[in-house]
Amino acid sequence: MVDVQNKKKRAVVAMSGGVDSSVAAALLARDGYEVVGVTMRLFNAPNESVARLNKSCCSLEDVEDARAVCRKIGAKHYFLNFEEEFQKHVVDYFVGEYERGRTPHPCLACNDRLKFEFLVRRAELMDADVVATGHYARIRKDNGEYKLLAGIDSMKDQSYVLYTLSQEQLSKLALPIGDYSKDEIREVARDLGLSIADKPDSQDICFIPDGDYNRFIEPRLKRKAPGDIIDAEGKVLGEHEGIHGFTIGQRKRIPIFNSTPRPMYVTDINAESGQVTVGPAENLMKTRLYASGVNWISGSSPTESITAEARIRYNGRNTPAKVRAVSGGAEIEFNEPVRAITPGQAVVFYQDDVVIGGGLIETSLPELSKQNPGQYRDNTGTFRDISGHVGPSKQIQAKSERIWRFH
């Protein structure tokens, strides 16, 4: 008969074979948990040697590394095939977003649907008390509410890709390495005698090990959207073969003849017309955006505008802003212009090091005149009366009732 009172708590740990998830598992084992390591098979690398050379995850070597760590710490190890789910919820989503002229962050989809949905279900079948990952972020409980905090190591902080977590998910999640720096994690791995202590980090886009996005995307496109390349005034400067080859802020590989001495950047992508707009760097600077499907970590949206810091890309900096919840999302106004607001990326809100929430960027919003709030600045830099102007957020809300979670 099992002694329930003395039964160890069971932790299912998502293990990629890298140092971070390995140390997460080892720390939980050291703290008395019965650890069950789970390595998810997400995709078939086209070439095993290429996967290793480009520091990709999901190679056979990674699986063996995870299994070796589990043997070292006395844990069970399982290898689960999630290729079908990964194809549907990550790869297809990734390609589809580029097809629509957007720039996705596939780690958001992978975390949301695989690690914190499907894996949690598997963990429940294993009678686990907690699911753990090797993310550099922290969880704290304050007055009955779970809070998500940035990792101690600001250079490795991964809280940006965890903004979709709910209170229920946070209650079942452990992030053992969030209180450590990367150097400290490697030192812990050495102290524990783990063979992966000095293993190089994997790249973010694990399923494109050679880094050639276009070569990966083009064969998988359902349709191409060729069109004109124009300037802010609408003058045609050239043609392109598909909007999937562009992202906001891009400077290289723009097929135009630039007759000016100033470099040109992609400032807008119109999926409906197929037009790609280019302009000088200052045209990338914006102060307002609309985000859809905002998740508030607390479980409820604020009733009034809040002061926060917002980040618009994974390695970006936090910028002071006002965040106002609206139907279906939020409008964000930065205290100072930010560069290259990019649809498809996430905007995440922080107060100090606490993640308040976040959503997917749909569009930048017209710049309002500080001298005359009744006017906005159009793409040419001209201020016009805002009366009668239908703001992009309203347009997006009307047609963007699509589920914000990653299908």
Q: Are residues 51 and 63 in the same domain?
A: yes
* CATH code, domain carrying 15: 3.40.50.620
Q: Are residues 89 and 149 in the same domain?
A: yes
Indicate whether 200 belongs to any domain.
no
| Number of structural domains found in the chain | 3
Q: Are residues 181 and 89 in the same domain?
A: yes
State mean pLDDT over 220-244. Answer: 93
pTM for the full predicted model: 0.88
Domain that holds residue 320: 283-399
Asked which of 169, 191, 213 is the last residue of a domain, the reply is: 191
Question: pLDDT averaged over the chain?
Answer: 87
Coil, strand or helix: which one is 186?
A: helix
**How many residues make up the chain in this entry?**
407
Separation CA 104–CA 88 (nearest Å) = 15
Q: Are residues 338 and 282 in contact, defined by beta-carbon separation less than 8 angstroms?
A: no
Q: Are residues 38 and 143 in the same domain?
A: yes
Q: Are residues 67 and 34 in the same domain?
A: yes
Contacts of 42 (CB under 8 A, 6+ apart): 57, 58, 82, 83, 86, 90, 110, 114, 206, 207
Q: Are residues 325 and 294 in contact, defined by beta-carbon separation less than 8 angstroms?
A: yes
Q: Are residues 247 and 106 in the same domain?
A: no
Q: Which helix (H) or strand (E) holds 28?
A: helix 19-30
* Residues pairing with 310 in the sheet: 319, 349
Indicate whether 318 belongs to any domain.
yes
Indicate whether 207 belongs to any domain.
no
Q: Are residues 188 and 168 in contact, defined by beta-carbon separation less than 8 angstroms?
A: no
pLDDT of residue 385: 58
pLDDT of residue 390: 44
Indicate whether 93 belongs to any domain.
yes
Indicate whether 263 belongs to any domain.
yes
* CATH code, domain carrying 269: 2.30.30
Q: Are residues 52 and 96 in the same domain?
A: yes
Asked which of 137, 172, 191 is the last residue of a domain, the reply is: 191
Q: Are residues 185 and 246 in the same domain?
A: no
Active site residues: 110, 206
pLDDT of residue 8: 79
Indicate whether 205 belongs to any domain.
no
Residue 117 has pLDDT above 90, yes or no: no
Q: Are residues 255 and 272 in the same domain?
A: yes
pLDDT of residue 41: 87
